[in-house]
A and B are shown apart, each in its own frame.
Chain A
Amino acid sequence: METQTKTKTQAKKVKPTAVRISGAEAVIKCLLEEEINLIYGYPGGAIMPIYDELYKYQDQLNHVLTRHEQGATHAAQGFARVTGKTGVVFATSGPGATNLVTGIADAQIDSTPMVCITGQVSSHLLGTDAFQETDIVSISTPVTKWNYQVTKASEIPEVLAKAFYIANSGRPGPVLIDITKDAQFGEIDFHYKKCKNIRSYFPVPKVDLEQVKDAAELINSAKKPFIIMGQGVILGNAENELKDLISKTGIPTASTALGLSGLETNHPLFVGMVGMHGHYAPNLKTNECDVLIAIGMRFDDRVTGDLNRYAKQAKVIHFEIDPAEIDKNVKTNVAVLGDVKETLKAIIPLIKKASHKKWHQEFKDLYDIEFMEVIKDQLNPKKEGLTMGEVLEGINKETNGEAVIVSDVGQHQMFACRYAKFNTTRSKITSGGLGTMGFALPAAIGAKMGAPQREVIAIIGDGGYQMTIQELGTIFQTKVPVKIVVLNNSFLGMVRQWQELFFDKRYASTEMVNPNFVKIAEGYDIEAQRVDKREDLQAAIQKMIACKESYFLEVIIEKEGNIFPMIPTGASVSEVRLK
Chain B
Amino acid sequence: MEKQLITVCIYTENFVGLLNRVTTIFTKRHVNIESITASKSEIENVHRYTIVVKESPSLIEKIVRQIEKQIDVIGAFYHLEDQTVFQEIALYKMDIENVYEAKFKEIISSHHARIVEIEKNFVVVEKTGTKADTDALYNELKPFGLMQFVRSGRVAITKQRMNISEILLNNRK
Contacts and interface: CB of A to CB of B under 8 A. Distances in A.
Interface stretch (B70-78, B109-117, B132-140): B70-78
B71 A142 contact: no
A147 B13 CA distance: 14
Nearest to A147: B17
A199 B172 CA distance: 7
A149 B16 contact: yes
A579 interface: no
B21 A166 contact: no
A146 B21 CA distance: 9
A266 interface: no
Given A146-B71, A201-B71, A327 B62 contact: yes
A55 interface: no
B171 A197 contact: yes
Contacts of B24: 141-142
Interface residues of A, number: 23
Given A138-B17, A198-B71, A200-B73, A328 B62 contact: yes
A145 B71 CA distance: 7
B65 interface: yes
A100 to B, nearest CB: 17
A323 B68 contact: yes
A322 B17 contact: no
Interface string A307-349: 0000000000000001110111000000000000000000000
Given A149-B16, A197-B171, A322-B69, A141 B21 contact: yes
Q: Is chain B's interface secondary structure helix, strand, loop, or mixed overall?
A: mixed
A269 to B, nearest CB: 33
Contacts of B74: 199-200
Contacts of A324: 62, 65-66, 68-69
Interface string A132-158: 000001100110011111000000000
Given A145-B71, A323-B69, A324-B68, A200 B13 contact: yes
Contact of B65 (A196, A199, A200, A323): A323
A196 B16 contact: no
B99 to A, nearest CB: 43
B173 interface: yes
Interface in A169-221: 196-202
For A138, A199, A200, A328, the residue with the greatest tally of chain B CB atoms inside 10 Å of its CB is A200
Interface string A473-486: 00000000000000
Nearest to A206: B170
A197 B16 contact: no
A477 to B, nearest CB: 36
A198 B167 CA distance: 12
A468 B69 CA distance: 33
B28 interface: yes
10 contacts: A141-B20, A197-B172, A199-B168, A200-B168, A200-B171, A322-B69, A324-B62, A324-B66, A326-B65, A328-B62
Given A141-B24, A149-B16, 12 more contacts: A138-B20, A141-B17, A146-B71, A146-B72, A149-B17, A166-B71, A197-B173, A199-B168, A200-B12, A200-B71, A200-B72, A323-B65
